[in-house]
C-alpha cells in the first residue's frame, strides 16, 4: 500500500507532529494531543507496512517496553469498575502509540534530533518566561499559591522539563552537535546563559522535587568527571571537592531545619498581665504552637487587635484573608513571627507591606523576608510536619499527605499482594482505607499513591510491578543505552520523580515520558550518537 501523500511529505508531517508535541508539552494538553494524533494518523496513512512490520518484528526492546501498556490492559480485565479501567487505558495510550509509531518509522537524523530537542527547550524557555512574569506580578501577594507560577501544567512536571532542558543544553555543549551547532563563542555563551537561567528559574518555581533531581544530577556529573581524571592526585582532590560539596549541601539543609526549630526563650512566669492601655492580655502557656521561633498564644489583647486592625486595613478583623483563612488567626501568627505583642502597640509597628501580606494570607514574616528562595517552602513543609505530629492535621500539607498516601498504598498492597486491585478499582480501595484509617483525609477526593512504583503495585500487584521495572530497565540494557550520558540523565529524572509523584497519571506526564523514551530508545538515537 502506497502512502496517502508522497513519502517525503509523510516524513515532514511525522517530524512536524513530533515538533508540535514537544513544543506544547509545557503549555497545552490539547496541542499535545493534536501532535500525538497527527503522528498516529500519518503513520496509518503513509503505507509501507512491510517495512513497518520488519522494524517491529524481532525488536525485542520495543516488545518488552510495550509490556508496560499490556500490564494495564491485563489489570483492566479483572477490574469491577470498567469505567475507571477504560480511563486508565485511554490515559496510558501514549505508552503504546509513541513507541510503535516511532520504532516502525524511518530513523531520525542528527539535524532532525537537533531541531526536535531545540523545539522542546524553546517551549520550556517560553513557558518559564511567562511563569516569571506571573511570579513578579504576584511577588508580594502570597495568596497566589507557588503552584500558580506554572499556569499550564503541574509545577512539578514543569520542573522535570526544566531539568531535562538543562541536561540537553549541557550535553549539547559537550558534544557540539545538538541545539547549538558549531563551536562558536556565541553559541557556547548562549548555552551557558540558558543553563544559568533554567537553574535560577527552578528556585522561582519552588519545586523541591525539581531542585532535588537537579542536585542529584549535578553531583553525579561531578563524580563521573572526577573519576575520569587519570592523574591520581588530581582525581583524589576532585573527589574530596565533591565530598565537601555534599557535606555543604547537607549542612545547609540541616541549618534550615535547625533554624525552624530554634525557639526563643521566654520566661512564661513573668508575662505581663496588662497592655500599655490597661487592657488584659490573654496567655495560653500550655500551647506548643510557635511561629518563627516565638510562642503564638501569649501576649494577646483581642479587643485592641480588632480595634487597631480595622483602622489600618481594608479586610475586617472578623473576616477572612485571601487564602480563606480567618484573618484574626493570620494576624496573630504573623505578628508573633515578628516578635511583636498582639496589641495596639504591635499593630502600630506593622507597615503597609506587612498589612498587605497579612490580608493576602501570609502567616509569617518569613514569607516577606524570603520571597525569593527555597526557605519559605522548607519553612512551610516543616510547619505542616509539626502540625501533623502534634494534632494529626493532614489537609493542605503536601509532604504529610504523601506520607499518608504511601501508608495507604502499602496497606492496600498487603491486602492485594499478587494481583493488585485491578486497573479500575484502585480509587475504591483508597477511599475505603481513608474512611477507616485517616479522618483527616477527604475520602471522596480520590488521592492516590503519589509514588508511581507503589501505584503500579497497587493496581496490578507484584507481577505488574515486576513488569513495570522490566519494561523500563531491560530495553536500554539490550540496546546498550545505559552507556549514553543523555539517556542515563533522562532516566534519572524520570526514575527519581516517580518516587515522589504519579508521573504517569496525567496526560502531560505520561506523554513526556513516552515521547522522550521512544525518541531515545527507538528512533535511531543510539546508532547516531553512540555513547556521547
pLDDT at 141 > cutoff 80: no
Q: Tens digit of pLDDT for each residue in 473-514?
A: 999 999 999 889 999 999 999 999 999 999 999 999 999 999
Task: Give 422 or 446, the one with higher predicted confidence.
Answer: 422
pLDDT at 178 > cutoff 60: no
Window from 287-301, 314-328, 332-346, 430-444 with minimum mean pLDDT: 430-444
Core vs surface per residue 430-465: b (16+ CB within 10 A) or e: bbebbeeebebbebeeebbbbbbebbbbbbbbeebb
Distances (CA, A) of 313 to 121, 351, 369, 442, 509: 45, 11, 21, 35, 43
Mean predicted confidence (pLDDT) in 190-206: 90
pLDDT confidence bin for 370, thresholds 50/70/90: confident
Q: Tens digit of pLDDT for each residue in 434-479?
A: 889 887 777 666 678 899 999 999 999 999 999 999 999 999 999 9
Q: How far apart are CA 379 and CA 261, in angstroms?
A: 10
Query: According to the model, what pLDDT value does residue 47 have?
Result: 83
Q: What whole-number percentage of the chain has pLDDT above 90?
A: 65
Query: What 3-state class would DSSP assign to 277?
Result: coil
Core vs surface per residue 8-37: b (16+ CB within 10 A) or e: eebbebbbebbbbbbbbbbbbeeebbebbe
- Say which residue the cell 478583623 belongs to: 317
Eight-class DSSP state of 281: P
pLDDT at 253 > cutoff 80: yes
pLDDT at 181 > cutoff 70: no
Window from 152-156, 286-290, 394-398, 480-484 with minimum mean pLDDT: 394-398
**Lookup: cell for 108:** 531520525
Q: Which residues pair with 274 in a beta bridge?
A: 280
**For residues 413 and 67, is the Cβ–Cβ distance under 8 A?**
no
Query: According to the model, what pLDDT value does residue 143 have?
Result: 47
Mean pLDDT rounded to a whole number for the chain: 89
Q: How far apart are CA 298 and CA 275, in angstroms?
A: 12
Q: How far apart are CA 289 and CA 273, in angstroms?
A: 20
Query: According to the model, what pLDDT value does residue 529 have?
Result: 75
pLDDT confidence bin for 398, thresholds 50/70/90: confident
Q: 179: left (phi > 0), else alpha (psi -120 to 50), else beta?
A: left
pTM, two decimal places: 0.89
pLDDT confidence bin for 381, thresholds 50/70/90: confident
Amino acid at each position: 500500500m502506497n502512502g496517502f501523500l508522497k513519502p517525503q511529505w509523510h516524513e515532514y508531517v511525522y517530524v512536524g507532529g513530533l515538533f508540535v508535541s514537544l513544543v506544547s508539552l509545557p503549555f497545552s494538553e490539547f496541542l499535545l494531543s493534536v501532535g500525538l494524533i497527527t503522528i498516529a494518523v500519518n503513520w496509518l496513512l503513509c503505507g509501507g507496512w512491510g517495512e513497518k512490520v520488519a522494524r517491529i518484528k524481532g525488536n525485542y526492546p520495543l516488545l518488552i517496553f510495550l509490556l508496560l501498556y499490556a500490564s494495564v490492559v491485563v489489570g483492566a480485565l479483572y477490574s469491577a469498575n470498567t469505567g475507571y479501567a477504560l480511563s486508565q487505558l485511554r490515559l496510558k495510550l501514549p505508552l503504546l502509540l509513541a513507541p510503535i509509531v516511532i520504532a516502525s518509522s524511518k530513523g531520525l537524523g542528527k539535524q532532525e534530533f537537533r531541531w526536535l530537542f531545540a523545539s522542546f527547550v524553546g517551549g520550556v524557555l517560553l513557558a518559564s518566561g511567562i511563569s516569571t512574569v506571573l511570579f513578579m506580578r504576584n511577588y508580594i501577594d502570597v495568596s497566589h499559591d507557588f503552584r500558580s507560577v506554572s499556569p499550564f501544567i503541574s509545577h512539578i512536571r514543569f520542573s522535570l522539563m526544566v531539568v531535562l532542558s538543562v541536561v540537553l543544553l549541557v550535553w549539547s555543549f559537550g558534544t557540539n552537535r545538538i541545539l547549538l551547532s558549531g563551536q562558536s563563542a556565541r553559541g557556547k555563551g548562549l548555552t551557558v546563559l540558558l543553563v544559568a537561567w533554567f537553574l535560577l528559574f527552578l528556585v522561582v518555581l519552588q519545586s523541591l522535587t525539581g531542585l532535588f533531581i537537579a542536585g542529584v544530577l549535578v553531583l553525579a556529573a561531578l563524580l563521573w568527571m572526577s573519576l575520569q581524571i587519570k592523574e591520581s592526585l588530581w582525581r583524589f582532590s576532585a573527589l574530596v571537592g565533591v565530598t565537601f560539596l555534599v557535606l555543604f549541601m547537607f549542612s545547609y539543609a540541616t541549618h534550615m531545619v535547625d533554624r525552624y526549630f530554634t525557639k526563643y526563650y521566654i520566661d512564661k512566669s513573668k508575662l505581663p498581665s496588662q497592655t500599655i492601655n490597661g487592657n488584659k492580655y490573654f496567655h495560653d502557656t500550655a500551647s506548643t504552637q510557635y511561629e518563627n521561633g516565638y510562642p503564638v498564644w501569649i501576649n494577646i489583647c483581642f479587643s485592641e487587635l480588632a480595634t487597631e486592625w480595622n483602622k489600618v486595613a481594608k479586610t475586617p478583623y472578623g473576616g477572612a484573608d485571601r487564602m480563606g483563612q480567618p484573618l484574626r488567626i493570620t494576624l496573630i501568627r504573623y505578628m508573633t513571627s515578628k516578635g511583636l505583642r498582639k496589641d495596639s502597640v504591635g499593630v502600630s509597628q506593622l507597615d503597609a507591606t506587612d498589612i498587605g501580606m497579612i490580608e493576602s494570607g501570609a502567616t509569617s514574616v518569613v514569607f516577606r523576608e524570603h520571597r525569593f528562595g527555597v526557605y519559605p517552602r522548607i519553612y512551610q513543609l516543616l510547619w505542616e510536619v509539626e502540625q501533623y505530629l502534634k494534632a494529626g492535621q493532614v489537609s493542605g500539607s503536601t509532604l504529610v499527605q504523601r506520607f499518608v498516601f504511601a501508608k495507604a498504598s502499602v496497606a492496600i498492597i498487603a491486602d492485594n499482594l499478587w494481583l493488585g486491585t485491578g486497573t479500575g478499582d484502585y480509587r475504591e480501595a483508597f477511599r475505603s482505607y481513608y474512611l477507616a484509617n485517616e479522618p483527616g483525609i477527604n475520602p471522596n477526593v480520590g488521592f492516590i499513591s503519589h509514588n508511581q512504583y507503589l501505584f503500579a503495585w497497587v493496581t496490578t500487584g507484584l507481577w505488574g510491578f515486576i513488569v513495570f521495572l522490566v519494561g523500563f530497565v531491560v530495553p536500554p540494557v539490550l540496546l546498550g543505552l545505559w552507556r549514553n550520558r543523555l539517556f542515563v540523565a533522562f532516566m534519572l529524572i524520570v526514575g527519581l520523580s516517580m518516587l515522589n509523584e504519579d508521573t504517569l497519571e496525567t496526560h502531560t506526564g505520561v506523554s513526556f515520558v513516552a515521547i522522550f523514551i521512544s525518541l531515545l530508545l527507538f528512533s535511531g538515537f543510539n546508532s547516531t550518537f553512540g555513547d556521547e
